Amino acid sequence: MTADETVDLQAVTIGVGTLLAIGFLAYGTVVSGSVFGVSTATAAAWAFAATFAVLAALHAATGRTDLALAHGGAAVGWGLVLVGSTGVHVLMGLFFLAVGGGYIARTTIRARAEQQTREMERNGANEGVKDPPEETAPSE
Protein backbone atom coordinates (compact mmCIF):
# COMPACT_ATOMS: atom_id res chain seq x y z
CA MET A 1 0.00 0.00 0.00
CA THR A 2 1.46 3.35 -1.02
CA ALA A 3 1.48 6.48 1.10
CA ASP A 4 -1.16 8.06 -1.16
CA GLU A 5 -3.45 5.03 -0.76
CA THR A 6 -2.99 5.19 3.02
CA VAL A 7 -3.94 8.87 3.08
CA ASP A 8 -6.98 8.16 0.89
CA LEU A 9 -8.06 5.28 3.13
CA GLN A 10 -7.52 7.40 6.22
CA ALA A 11 -9.70 10.17 4.80
CA VAL A 12 -12.47 7.70 3.96
CA THR A 13 -12.29 6.15 7.43
CA ILE A 14 -12.51 9.54 9.13
CA GLY A 15 -15.40 10.49 6.84
CA VAL A 16 -17.35 7.32 7.59
CA GLY A 17 -16.77 7.68 11.35
CA THR A 18 -17.87 11.31 11.27
CA LEU A 19 -20.99 10.52 9.25
CA LEU A 20 -21.85 7.74 11.67
CA ALA A 21 -21.48 10.11 14.64
CA ILE A 22 -23.58 12.77 12.91
CA GLY A 23 -26.16 10.12 12.06
CA PHE A 24 -26.46 9.15 15.73
CA LEU A 25 -26.84 12.80 16.74
CA ALA A 26 -29.42 13.48 14.02
CA TYR A 27 -31.38 10.38 15.02
CA GLY A 28 -31.31 11.59 18.62
CA THR A 29 -32.59 15.01 17.61
CA VAL A 30 -35.33 13.88 15.24
CA VAL A 31 -36.47 10.40 16.31
CA SER A 32 -35.45 9.38 19.81
CA GLY A 33 -32.88 10.32 22.43
CA SER A 34 -31.49 6.81 22.50
CA VAL A 35 -30.50 4.11 20.08
CA PHE A 36 -30.26 0.49 21.24
CA GLY A 37 -30.80 1.81 24.77
CA VAL A 38 -27.77 4.10 24.63
CA SER A 39 -27.84 7.89 24.55
CA THR A 40 -27.26 9.08 20.99
CA ALA A 41 -24.53 11.47 22.20
CA THR A 42 -22.75 8.52 23.82
CA ALA A 43 -23.19 6.45 20.65
CA ALA A 44 -21.67 9.32 18.62
CA ALA A 45 -18.67 9.46 20.96
CA TRP A 46 -18.22 5.68 20.66
CA ALA A 47 -18.28 6.11 16.87
CA PHE A 48 -15.31 8.47 17.19
CA ALA A 49 -13.53 6.02 19.51
CA ALA A 50 -14.09 3.24 16.96
CA THR A 51 -12.81 5.51 14.18
CA PHE A 52 -9.55 6.06 16.06
CA ALA A 53 -9.25 2.30 16.69
CA VAL A 54 -9.74 1.52 12.99
CA LEU A 55 -7.17 4.17 12.05
CA ALA A 56 -4.73 2.60 14.51
CA ALA A 57 -5.21 -0.78 12.83
CA LEU A 58 -4.75 0.73 9.35
CA HIS A 59 -1.52 2.44 10.36
CA ALA A 60 -0.26 -0.72 12.05
CA ALA A 61 -0.97 -2.67 8.85
CA THR A 62 1.06 -0.18 6.79
CA GLY A 63 4.00 -0.12 9.18
CA ARG A 64 3.44 3.33 10.67
CA THR A 65 3.87 2.23 14.26
CA ASP A 66 4.09 5.79 15.55
CA LEU A 67 0.71 6.74 14.12
CA ALA A 68 -0.77 3.39 15.11
CA LEU A 69 0.21 4.04 18.73
CA ALA A 70 -1.05 7.63 18.60
CA HIS A 71 -4.43 6.64 17.16
CA GLY A 72 -4.65 3.71 19.55
CA GLY A 73 -3.87 6.01 22.46
CA ALA A 74 -6.58 8.40 21.33
CA ALA A 75 -9.04 5.49 21.08
CA VAL A 76 -8.15 4.38 24.61
CA GLY A 77 -8.56 7.99 25.72
CA TRP A 78 -12.08 8.13 24.28
CA GLY A 79 -12.87 4.83 25.96
CA LEU A 80 -11.66 6.05 29.35
CA VAL A 81 -13.67 9.26 29.01
CA LEU A 82 -16.80 7.29 28.09
CA VAL A 83 -16.61 4.60 30.76
CA GLY A 84 -14.62 6.45 33.40
CA SER A 85 -16.27 6.03 36.77
CA THR A 86 -14.07 8.54 38.56
CA GLY A 87 -12.59 11.89 37.75
CA VAL A 88 -9.14 10.28 37.60
CA HIS A 89 -10.26 7.89 34.84
CA VAL A 90 -11.74 10.74 32.83
CA LEU A 91 -8.60 12.86 33.29
CA MET A 92 -6.45 9.95 32.17
CA GLY A 93 -8.68 9.58 29.12
CA LEU A 94 -8.39 13.26 28.30
CA PHE A 95 -4.61 13.01 28.71
CA PHE A 96 -4.37 10.08 26.26
CA LEU A 97 -6.71 11.85 23.87
CA ALA A 98 -4.69 15.09 24.00
CA VAL A 99 -1.28 13.43 23.68
CA GLY A 100 -2.38 11.11 20.86
CA GLY A 101 -4.23 13.88 19.05
CA GLY A 102 -1.32 16.29 19.43
CA TYR A 103 1.11 13.78 17.96
CA ILE A 104 -1.29 12.99 15.11
CA ALA A 105 -1.70 16.69 14.30
CA ARG A 106 2.05 17.41 14.43
CA THR A 107 2.94 14.40 12.30
CA THR A 108 0.20 15.08 9.76
CA ILE A 109 1.21 18.73 9.34
CA ARG A 110 4.86 17.75 8.85
CA ALA A 111 3.99 14.99 6.38
CA ARG A 112 1.83 17.31 4.29
CA ALA A 113 4.55 19.96 4.22
CA GLU A 114 7.12 17.36 3.11
CA GLN A 115 4.73 16.05 0.46
CA GLN A 116 4.17 19.56 -0.91
CA THR A 117 7.91 20.13 -1.05
CA ARG A 118 8.45 16.85 -2.92
CA GLU A 119 5.66 17.69 -5.38
CA MET A 120 7.10 21.13 -6.00
CA GLU A 121 10.54 19.64 -6.63
CA ARG A 122 9.13 16.92 -8.87
CA ASN A 123 6.98 19.33 -10.90
CA GLY A 124 9.73 21.89 -11.18
CA ALA A 125 7.83 24.61 -9.38
CA ASN A 126 10.62 27.06 -10.15
CA GLU A 127 10.35 26.58 -13.91
CA GLY A 128 9.38 29.73 -15.68
CA VAL A 129 10.64 31.91 -12.85
CA LYS A 130 13.38 34.08 -14.20
CA ASP A 131 16.49 34.66 -12.20
CA PRO A 132 17.11 38.29 -11.34
CA PRO A 133 19.44 39.98 -13.78
CA GLU A 134 23.07 39.82 -12.86
CA GLU A 135 24.73 43.04 -11.94
CA THR A 136 27.47 44.01 -14.25
CA ALA A 137 30.26 46.40 -13.65
CA PRO A 138 29.70 49.75 -15.35
CA SER A 139 31.69 50.11 -18.53
CA GLU A 140 34.18 52.91 -18.70
* pLDDT for the residue numbered 127: 57
Query: Packing angle between helix 65-83 and helix 40-61, nearest 10 degrees?
Result: 160
- The residues spanned by each domain of the chain are 3-123
Locate the DSSP E strands across the chain: 34-35, 38-39
* pLDDT for the residue numbered 122: 84
* pLDDT for the residue numbered 19: 96
* pLDDT for the residue numbered 5: 58
Radius of gyration of the chain, Cα coordinates, nearest whole angstrom: 23
DSSP letters of 29-58?
HHT-SEETTEEHHHHHHHHHHHHHHHHHHH
* pLDDT for the residue numbered 11: 87
* pLDDT for the residue numbered 10: 85
pTM of the predicted structure, to 2 decimals:
0.75
Going residue by residue through the chain, which has 140 residues, state the pLDDT in tens, using 9 for 90 and above: 555 555 678 889 999 999 999 999 999 999 988 888 899 999 999 999 999 999 999 999 988 899 999 999 999 999 999 998 899 999 999 999 999 999 999 988 998 888 888 888 888 755 555 555 566 666 65
